[in-house]
Structure formats: structure tokens, C-alpha cells
Structure 1
Amino acid sequence: MLSRRFASSTRGFATKVTAKEFSGKVSTLTVKVNAGSSVASKDGLAHLLSRFNFHNTTPRSALRLTRESELLGGQFESKVDRESITLSAKFLAESLPYYVNALGDVLKSTSFRPHELPESVLPAAKVDAASANACPVFKADELLHALTFRSGLGAPLYYDGVQKISLEDIKEYAAKVYTQSNIEIIATGVNQADLTKFISDSVFAQLPAGESLAAKAAPKTFEGAETRFRSAGQSVAGVAVPVKAADYATYQVLTSYLNSALSTLNVEAKFSQYSQVGLFTIIAKSSDATAVAADIKAAVAQLKAGLDLSAAKALAATELALAEETTGVKAVDVAAVKDFKLGKFNYVAVGDVNNLPFADEL
């Protein structure tokens, strides 16, 4: 049972440390770094750095780290998104000191050995990219981000080889982003006092102070753009709208409405909430491009006509409350939301584009 949530910073330590305590034997430790694809100076740089995590460090080899973690019953993960690189571990609660030191060593002491880039990091990154881009929904999402933001949040999520990235580029980026002011440490199933002590005594406290690279202002956004990507397989049509922070509540309710039984539309809605801006998307997909065309036309027509969202507010409030417990991100208040009407949007067609509509046909 969840008992409490609290945050603190150790004296002289710039990193925000947050913990949730609850009964249970399994704990998690997460290091969130403001270093995602929108921050990197080269496309794919954040992805390659994330793939270097949990390789050899000065205190221990990758093999030793894996073997020790297996003996302790723990698991490691490193992943990248548009704003962050996230390192995480899941383990039995009594192993907290080991995992604090292990994750700290990754940030402070990764060896970046020259052979690791061509032999393990690049092959793994290429598999990530190929697997993701084989999905037309992912491809549509990437294109919608590119249309809406162009640079920054519109940069490719994964390394594609277009821009050449050297080992020195990766090492310099790591030195820039792995700093006390640019990370946040989040734990669950952990005692706050213990976590604070272990972190203050670990290599986390030896990281340079640095500065936060988190976005401080909303990026410039664009609407009314369109692109088409011809490919075999499933067809996808997608619409995206950039969302200001003041409108988050409306789009949260709209997303809940479209993904519930309250809606008769055959589309999937997603609201991606970044630090200074959001992106709302709806996707229609099918192996039959004519069905996709009909579904996206119906969705846009209904959204342009306007929707009464009052029936979905309770559902949205419940979903947001559950998400807050999981992520710690404070839920927006949806009580004042009333209705929605679609204005300008960006549009992509992926797949059998001969049978998918153009934006001016929606």
C-alpha cells in the first residue's frame, strides 16, 4: 500500500531525489536525464549514448555487472525518448546500495571503449531503428513530430546513419548531460532516508554540477503541413495538433473520449505531454487503405463539427489519477473542460498512399 511521496536534495547535491514508499519486496530506481533526441546536437546521438549505458565501466565490466545483477535478482534497462535518456533498475529492496552505485558508475565512469561502438552499440541501435520503422504507426508518429516541430522534438528518435557520429561525439555528449543539475533520481519501494544517504555517499555526488538542459520555453510549432510516405504493408493516416500547456486538460479529456466506448470513431488517440508543449494525434490504420481513408475522414469531420466532452471528464480524471500514481506527474484538473472543435492540423499518409486522402480532402 502506498504510504507517502516526498522529495529532497542532499546538502551540496543539485540532483532532485524523489521516493515513494510502499509495502513489498521489489523496488525500482530510475535516473532520468534531460538528454533525449530533442536535446542532442546530432540526430541519433542520444540513442547511441543510451545504448552505451551498462557497458564497461571503470569499477566493473559489463559481464560482471550482468552476473552480479542476476545473482541479486535484478534487471537493468536504458531507453531514450524525445526529452530524456532513462536508466532504470528493478531489484529486491535490500539491494538498494548496490544499484545506487551501479547506476552512478554508468554516469560517472563508463569506459567508452573504441571497439564497443562498432561491435555492439551501433548494431544494437540499427536493430532498434529497423524494428521501430517497420511499424507504419511509428513512422507516421515520427513524420507528425517532424511536421509539427521541425527541429528539437521533431528530430528522429533513433540513429539512422545520416549524420556521422564518432566515439568522441558520444563521450562529449555524456560529459555534457550526465551532471547533477541535469538528472533526476526517482525510486519506488525505497526508504527516503536510506536513499538520500546512499546517494550522498555514492559517485552521484561526484558528478560535476553542470546545468539543466530541460526545455525552458515552448518550441515554435507549425500547422497545416502534409507529407506522404509510400510503403508496403499496413496503411496509416494520422492527424496531429500542437497543444499549449493551457489546453492540456481539454486534450486529455478528448484522448480519453476517443479511446473509450463513448466514441464510435475507429481511430486511436494519443496525447504526448512534453515539458513545455504537447502533441495530440489521432491514427487510423488497416491493411485496407480504403478503410483507413473512410475512418480518418469520419474522424476529422466529427472533430471539425465539434464534440461535447462532458461525458468523458470522469473517465479522464480517473485515468490521470492512476497515471499520477505511476509516473509522479501531477494530473491536470479537467473539471472545466466542456467541448472541443478541431482547427488547423498536420497530416501524414503512410502505406498505400494512392488510396489515402490528401489533407484538403478531409
Structure 2
Amino acid sequence: MIGSSSRWAQTRLAAATVARGARGLATASVEGVKVAAIENGAATTTVSFVARAGSRYQTSPGAAHALERFAFQSTAARSGLRLTREAELLGGQLSSTLSREHIVLTAKFLPEDLPYFVAALSDVFARPTLSRHEFAEIIQPLLKLDAAAAAAQPAYVAEELAFETAFRSGLGAPLLAAPVDGVTPEAVAAHAASAYTKANLAVVASGAALADLTALLGESLQGAAAGSALAPASKYYGGEARLRSAAGNALVFGYAAPASADAAVLAAVLGGASSIKWSAGTSLLGSAFGGAATAKYSAFADTGFLSVAVGGAPADIKATAAGAVQLVKALATGSLNDAAVSAAVAKAKFAAAAELDSSAGLVSIGASLLDAAPALSAFDAVTVDSVVAAAKAVLASKPTVAAVGKTTELPYADELGL
């Protein structure tokens, strides 16, 4: 789930799902695991195991990335080769994703194969062998490929550097393993032992009956470690960081932003990315800079981060970023109207609803089961004054600036007015 949408979008999405009971969402608890199912009559069934095991919870850099890459390798019940062959014989699809908060194991298959895939996912979650030979022969090469691919994306590198600068540990922990981390099988096993437990798991399915799902989980998760819920804890610091890179130029600046509907709407007001093809859109950043600058609100279980990313040539980045800083500051002076806020609220709600119709919807529901979801009705209370207040609160925090690329030409924070 690298580069996935914000936690706030996920939680409000799940709240919307619950509110619209017509979708048939039902919830339960089995073996200490939170379970939800949407019986929608679809031709295929999807089951996701959402584990509170993302990079913010790792005690060793790269351990979460390696654990996610261990998905669908050997378990106590079957080898990785056997699992692959059986899934293919049944026509199923297996996938895993990683974010700062979660590791998600997903299977998509024909409805009649629910028993097999629930058992398989349960084995992957509760009984992985995490063997040394698979780590050396399969996992380590994958970690290197992932790191190399990420290093070639200046926007990703700048965002990672911004999070590291803003939070240091926790949310600032690296999402991907780097060669310098020296990840070991022991570190991966330790992370699995603390995170892959019933207390940190939510299971969500679409195209399946809740009764069938809970019955199968009651059998397949017997003997799995109960564990204790991992508690999120991150402190915001802010600051400035620069990294020379030949991959390209990117700059990210941002601020601490507590999880709230107002902060989410503030990001939508800034915008930058248009939802209309061949149009820059009417958001503040879109109107001023086209697609050269985009705002993003990343909300998590305990905090949030409002950021603006800028790419291009160093001179262009300097001009665009300086202009974007002034736009953010202007919002705190009350330079907003009802129409702009109304449009931003609608855009945020549509993004949540659209996500619900994608595979990310199950992850969103699972995340909301693990951490209480804010009510969707919170958006109804957003006003011009509350967005202005959110802008003032955001600007009161120490800014974070991360520059990647030709740092001899990229601007410093004070050159941007920060």
C-alpha cells in the first residue's frame, strides 16, 4: 500500500459504509478478531486480513517490509510452492500490501472456494515459517529490487525524507528496507511475533456471508497468538532535510495536522490534482500551478500530516513552492468563501465514496475496526471558520521541509518563507 490514500479517508470511508446499511455490512468478533462481511451477491469473493503491523510498529528498520514480502511463502501447513500451485488451480489471486500502519493480506477467488482461502490466509498470518533459506533466496533480492525502484522516484524519496524529519521514529520509520538496515530473519520474526496476533487483526470480506466467514475463522485461527494491541505513538518534531540524488528533483513541505474533517477539507481546498481530464481544476494549487504542486492529508490513528509536494527543475520548484507556502498562509487569514469550502467537502466525500467501490474499501473497513472511525457526519459541521481555524493550527506547528535532487540549487526553508 505504498503511496496509499490517507488514514482519514479510510476511516471516513468505513463510517460511510456502516451508515449505508444497504450494502449489507455485518460485523462480529471471533477468536478475539474483529470481522466484517459484505454479502453483495458478487460473482467473486475477496477476503483481506488487515494487520496492525506497518512500518510505524517495527522495532528494527525494514522488518515490516520484509514481513510483508514473506507473505505467501512457506507456512507450517504448506510450502510456498504448494500455496502458489493450489491458488492457481482454483483460479484465485493473492496479494499483499504495506503501509505505515498496516500489512494487508488479500485473496480474491470464486465464492465456493472460501474455505480454502480463509485457511490459507490464516496460515500465512498465524503460522509463517519465516525460514532462513527463503529469506536469503527470495526475500532479500525482493527487498533490494523494491529499494532500487523506490530510489528512482524523487517524489517518493522526498515524502519518505519528510516523514523521517517530521516524526523521526514511529511514523518516521522507513517504509522500505534499505541495504544499510541489515534486516535479519530474527528481526522479522520478532516483528511478526508482536504484530501478527489476534489483537492486531481485522478480517474483512466482500461477497461472503458473515456466518460462513466467522465459522471458518473460528477453526483456522485456533491456536494463533492472542497478543496485545500495539499502541500507536509518534511525536512530531518538524525540521529540514536535504538529500542529493541523481533520480530527479522533488520538494515536500508540511505541518502537523491532527485528524479532523477540517484538516481533510483544508487539503482539498489546496488541491492541486484535477479530477477533470485536460483541466487544472479550480483548487488553489491547481489554478495557480497546474499539476506542479499537490496537497495531501495523511491521517493516522493518533495524528496527521498535511503536506504539499512539488516537482520539476530546481528553479521551477523554488518558485512554485514559495507560491504554495503563501497560499497556505493566506488560508489562515480568512481568504476563503462558502463556495470553495463546499466544493472541497464534496470532493473529499466523493473521493471516499469512490474508494469504497475499489479493493481499497475492504482495507478501509478493516482499518476502522482496528481503530475507531470518526463519523462521516463530521463533514457536515465543516465551515469556512473551522477551515480557517484548522489552517491557523497547522501553521502554528514547526514546518517540515525535505528536498531531494540537485540540492545545490534547490531552495532552503527560509527561502520559501517558512
Normalising by the residue count of structure 1, what TM-score does the alignment of the two structures yield?
Answer: 0.92
User: Given that residues 34 and 214 in structure 1 are in contact (C-alpha distance below 8 angstroms), is that contact kept between their aligned partners in structure 2?
Assistant: no
| Distance of 1:323 and 1:278 partners within structure 2 | 20
Aligned to 2:17: none
**Preserved CA contact (<8 Å) 1:5 1:19:** yes
Query: 1:115: which partner in 2?
Result: 133
Change (3 A) 1:234 1:6: same
Q: Which residue of 2 aligns with 1:174?
A: 192
Cα contact 1:2–1:20 (8 A) shared by 2: no
Superposition RMSD on alpha carbons, in Å?
Answer: 1.9
Shift in Å, 1:63: 1.2
Alignment of 1:314-353 (within 5 A): 314-323=346-355, 326=361, 327-328=364-365, 329=368, 330=373, 332=376, 333-335=378-380, 336-338=382-384, 339-340=387-388, 341=391, 343=395, 344-353=398-407
> Matched residues in 2 for 1:143 and 1:59: separation?
40
Q: Is the 2:126–2:225 contact (alpha carbons within 8 Å) kept by the matching residues of 1?
A: no
Matches within 5 A, 1:158-169: 158-169=176-187
Distance (whole Å) between structure 2 residues aligned to residue 63 and residue 153 of structure 1: 34
SS in 1 for 2:180: coil
| Structure 1 position 180, deviation (Å) | 1.2
CA deviation vs aligned residue, 1:163-211 (integer Å, no higher than 9, x gap): 3333223223222222111111111111111111111121x13202111
Distance 2:301 2:61 in 1: 20
Q: What's the CA shift for 1:324? A: 5.2
Checking the alignment, whether the CA contact within 8 Å between 2:94 and 2:106 is kept in structure 1 is: yes
Equivalent residue for 2:12? Answer: none
Q: Which residue of 1 aligns with 2:230?
A: 213
1:265 aligns with 2:282: no
Counterparts of residues 97-112 of structure 1 (less than 5 Å) = 97-112=115-130
Q: Does the CA-based 8 Å contact 2:163-2:171 persist in structure 1?
A: yes
* In the alignment, structure 1 residue 6 sits paired with structure 2 residue 26: yes
CA contact (8 A) 1:29 1:88 kept: yes
Match of 2:262 among 250, 265, 277: 250
Larger relative strand fraction: 1
For 1:125, the equivalent position in structure 2 comes to: 143
The whole-number CA distance in structure 2 between the counterparts of 1:249 and 1:323 is 17
User: Number of aligned pairs?
Assistant: 353
The answer (yes or no) to whether the contact 1:180–1:205 under 8 Å persists in 2 is no
Deviation at 1:2, TM superposition (A): 6.0
Instruction: Find out whether 1:45 has 2:91 as its counterpart.
Output: no
Q: Structure 2: where are the runs of 5+ without partners?
A: 1-20, 275-280
Comparing 52-61 and 98-107, the one that deviates more = 52-61
Q: Distance in 1 between matches of 2:351 and 2:325?
A: 25
Q: Distance in 2 between matches of 1:119 and 1:6?
A: 42
Give SS of 2:118's match: helix
SS in 2 for 1:59: coil
1:238 — aligned with what?
A: 252
Relative to structure 2, which stretch is displaced further, 56-65 or 96-105?
56-65
Aligned pair 1:65/2:83, yes or no?
Answer: yes
- Work out the CA distance in 2 between the residues paired with 1:72 and 1:270: 40
Q: Which residue of 1 aligns with 2:16?
A: none
How far has the Cα of 1:270 moved from its partner?
1.5
> What TM-score do the two structures reach when normalised by structure 2?
0.80
Alignment equivalent of 1:303, drawn from 328, 343, 349: 328
- Are residue 290 (structure 1) and residue 315 (structure 2) matched? yes
1:278 correspondence with 2:304: yes
Whole-Å separation in 2 of the counterparts to 1:301 and 1:145 = 22
Task: State the distance in 2 between where 1:304 and 1:46 align.
Answer: 37
CA distance in structure 1 between the aligned counterparts of 2:122 and 2:88, rounded to whole angstroms? 18
Unaligned runs of 5+ in 1: none
> How far apart, CA to CA, are the structure 1 residues paired with 2:169 and 2:29?
34
